[in-house]
Amino acid sequence: MGRRRLPVALLGAALALATGAGNAQQFNGQSPSYRSSPNAQSVPARQSVPATVTTSPPVPIQRTTPSSVPSAPQPASTAAQPAPSEPPRPQPLASAAASAQAATACMNEKKSASVDAAIKGCDAVISETLKNLANAYYFRGTAKFGKSDFDGAIGDYGQALRLDPSDPDYLNSRAAAYEAKKDIDRALADYNEAIKTNPNSIFAYNNRGAVFQRKGDFARAAADYGEVTRLQPNNLDAWSARCWVRAISPGQTQQALTDCNAALKIKADAADVLDTRGFIYLKLGQSDNAIKDYDAALKGDPKLAGSLYGRGLAKLRKGDRNGGNTDMAAAKAIRSDIAEEFSRYGLKP
């Protein structure tokens, strides 16, 4: 029987697959709207780090419902939905040259390497091959997710985890698939495990916060969004998200105002943040400040129903009945249930 050779070329092709599909996924969101709980994750993603801190893409959090979830419902409520941006893709464990060197040492055809060196080379080849296989399962799971085959995606992410249990990104992705199936308990379990595996997993904190927010556990949601601000101090959307969940939490109005101010230091014309701060000022009875922020928010997005309705309430409080009724009617034309939304937060004409 002839001596077997390790498929170095195939290893190289697998490495190319792992790195070449780098921009295969993307996350999309809609403009801000009033919602009390975020929707399911749009698509799973590899871990990313903030553009504001490093050169990698940020992991933004938006008060939106992502538009690309095939089966997700559209709840009529208010929220800050984490929506990770386009993430980096899996990276090879070694360069092509190092991979070839490990394969050569493993085969040890000329007996030039020691036995220990040959074993070490084979260990490297096995490890790299398993990682590439895990990435292949991951990519296939992502493709299945895109087809709304969430069970198939969960199965493939599970296979990736069987091969590489230490990768928090596989856990994050499987959690997103569980969320799409509305299996919140399993999603939380995977996010918890991802954070245990990597305490700096921003994606996991983002999305676990969204799950807590959806469950109405605003304190835990705020804590997770706070971890994002700790890890990404210049993440505008993380500050905005925590501002919102605090704004709708009893006794957290001043803390919410502090968070919105921090967000506006990063981007002074952020319409969703101005919208939230206007809401806070309305709750505090500061009608002039509320109108000022709502005006600025509407300048950025004239179709913000919440800003129109909130500005209408503020105008009514100042005795401007015509202006107030006009704004509130315009808001209802955009969102027929916007009055009920504000009423649930104790803000009525």
How far, in Å, CA of 144 to CA of 167, rounded? 20
* Six-digit token string for 139: 């990519």
pLDDT per residue rounded down to tens, the chain (349 residues) = 333 333 333 333 333 333 333 333 322 222 223 333 333 333 333 332 222 222 222 233 333 322 222 233 222 333 333 433 334 444 444 566 776 777 676 767 767 778 777 777 777 767 777 778 888 989 999 999 999 999 999 999 999 999 988 788 899 999 999 999 999 999 999 999 999 999 999 999 999 999 999 899 999 999 999 999 999 999 998 999 999 999 999 999 999 999 999 999 999 999 999 999 999 999 999 999 999 999 999 999 999 999 999 999 999 999 999 999 999 999 999 999 999 999 999 999 9
CA 31 to each of CA 1, 42, 183, 299: distance values in angstroms, whole numbers, following the listed order = 66, 15, 27, 14
Give CA angle at 256 (326, 269), nearest 5°: 60
Is-contact 45 203, C-beta < 8 A? yes
> pTM for the complete prediction?
0.69
Q: At what angle do helices 115-146 and 96-107 cross, to 10 degrees?
A: 130
